[in-house]
A and B are shown apart, each in its own frame.
Chain A
Amino acid sequence: MKNVFILFLMVSFVVSGCVSYDHYYKLDEQYLARRQLETRRYDTDDEETLLIASAQVLQDLGFTLDESETKLGLITANKDREAGSTAGKVGIILLAVLAGTQPVYDVSQKIYVTLVSTKNHDNKSHNIRVEFARVIWNNMNQARIEKIQDEEIYKDFFDKLSQSVFLTANNI
C-alpha cells in the first residue's frame, strides 16, 4: 500500500512538471459578458473629475489606494476585512465538534479592486471598468483566491459612483 502511494506521488510529480499552459491568455466565451458587467458609461469628457469621483467612492467603501496612473486612467486599491459571519463560524465549530473533526472556517480576506477609465470614440463620454477580486484565508492559514462576479456588487458600485460623480461635480 505504501509503495503504491509513493508511486502515485512520483507520477503526480512527473505529470505536474509537464502541465500544459496552451489555454493561458486565451479569450474565453464569457469575456464580452464580463466586460459588460464590469463596465459603465459616464457622459462626461472630464476624465480627471471622473477619476477623482472614483477615488472618493473607493474611500467611501473603505479601500486604501495602492497605485494610480492617471495618464492611463488607472486606480488600484485594497482593503482587509474579516471573512464570514460569527454565527456561521459558531455553526461550523459546533458541527465539527459533533462530527469529531477539525473545524475549518474563513477568518480574513483581502479585497482588491482595479478601476480603469477609457475615453470613448465620441470624445464626449468615458467608460469606467471595475474589477473586484479577493483572497480569503481560513483558520488553517490556507488561502483561496476568487474573482468577484456578483452582478449586484457591480450594480451597487456603479450606482455609488454615479452618486459620487454628482457629489464631486457639486463640490460636496
Chain B
Amino acid sequence: MKKILSSLIIIIALTGCASTHNDVLGTSQSQVQMRNYQSRSFDTNDKSLVLRAVISTMQDLGFIIERADEKLGTISGTSFSHIHASKLTVSIRAINDKQIVVRANGQVGLKALDNPIPYQNFFNALGQSLFLEAHEVE
C-alpha cells in the first residue's frame, strides 16, 4: 500500500505542471498563441520613443537593464524583485507607417514564462509609461 502511495506521489511530482509547458513549446498553434499574448501594437511610428518607454517601464518594474540595441530594437534586463530572478527581452518592430509592435519574452529562474498575465501586466505598465511621457505627467 505504502509503495503504491509513494509511486503515485512520485508520478504527480514528476508530471506537476509539465503538460502545460509542453503545450507551449509543442505545436505551431501554441507558437501563434504565445506570440499573441507576448506582443502588443502601439499607434506610433516613433521607434526611439517606444524603446525609451520600454527602458523606463522596465526600470519602474525593478529591472536592471543589461543591454540594448537601437538598430535591432531590443532591450534585455534582469529583475531581482521576486524570489526567483527574472529575465526579460523586449523587441520592437514597425509593422507599417503608423504602428509598432512590441514583443516581450521572459523567464523566471530556469523556466520560460508562459503565462499571459505577467505580459498583460507588462503591457499595462508600458501603456501607462507611454501615456505618462506623452503628457509629461510625473
The yes or no answer to A112 lying at the interface (CB within 8 A) is yes
**Bound CA–CA A114/B66 (angstroms):** 7
Within 8 A of A (CB), among B123-138: 124-125, 128, 133, 136, 138
A67 neighbours in B (Cβ, 8 Å): 66-68
Stretch at the interface among B23-31, B93-101, B110-118: B110-118
**Bound CA–CA A23/B61 (angstroms):** 11
**Bound CA–CA A76/B48 (angstroms):** 19
The yes or no answer to B12 lying at the interface (CB within 8 A) is yes
Q: Are B106 and A25 in contact (CB under 8 A)?
A: yes
- Cross-interface CB contact of A145 among B10, B48, B80, cutoff 8 Å: B80
The yes or no answer to B1 lying at the interface (CB within 8 A) is no
Q: Are A24 and B86 in contact (CB under 8 A)?
A: yes
**Bound CA–CA A24/B112 (angstroms):** 13
B6 neighbours in A (Cβ, 8 Å): 6
Nearest-Cβ distance from residue B108 to partner chain A, whole angstroms: 6
Interface SS of chain A: mixed
In the complex, the chain B residue whose C-beta lies closest to that of A69 is B68
Q: A25-B121, A27-B128 are in contact. Are A116 and B65 (CB under 8 A)?
A: yes
Q: How many residues of A contact B (CB 8 A)?
A: 41
The yes or no answer to B4 lying at the interface (CB within 8 A) is no
Q: How many residues of B contact A (CB 8 A)?
A: 48
Nearest-Cβ distance from residue A142 to partner chain B, whole angstroms: 14
A6 neighbours in B (Cβ, 8 Å): 6
Q: Are A69 and B122 in contact (CB under 8 A)?
A: no
The yes or no answer to B34 lying at the interface (CB within 8 A) is no
- Cross-interface CB contact of A27 among B18, B55, B60, B75, cutoff 8 Å: B60
Q: A112-B64, A116-B55 are in contact. Are A21 and B16 (CB under 8 A)?
A: no
B115 neighbours in A (Cβ, 8 Å): 20-22
Nearest-Cβ distance from residue A70 to partner chain B, whole angstroms: 9
In the complex, the chain B residue whose C-beta lies closest to that of A7 is B9
Q: A21-B113, A27-B125, A133-B80 are in contact. Are A72 and B52 (CB under 8 A)?
A: yes
- Cross-interface CB contact of A25 among B68, B118, B133, cutoff 8 Å: B118
Nearest-Cβ distance from residue A121 to partner chain B, whole angstroms: 5
* Given A17-B13, A20-B115, A114-B65, 19 new contacts (CB under 8 A): A10-B10, A10-B12, A13-B13, A24-B108, A24-B113, A25-B88, A27-B121, A27-B125, A28-B62, A28-B81, A31-B60, A69-B68, A69-B69, A71-B70, A76-B64, A114-B59, A114-B77, A116-B55, A133-B64
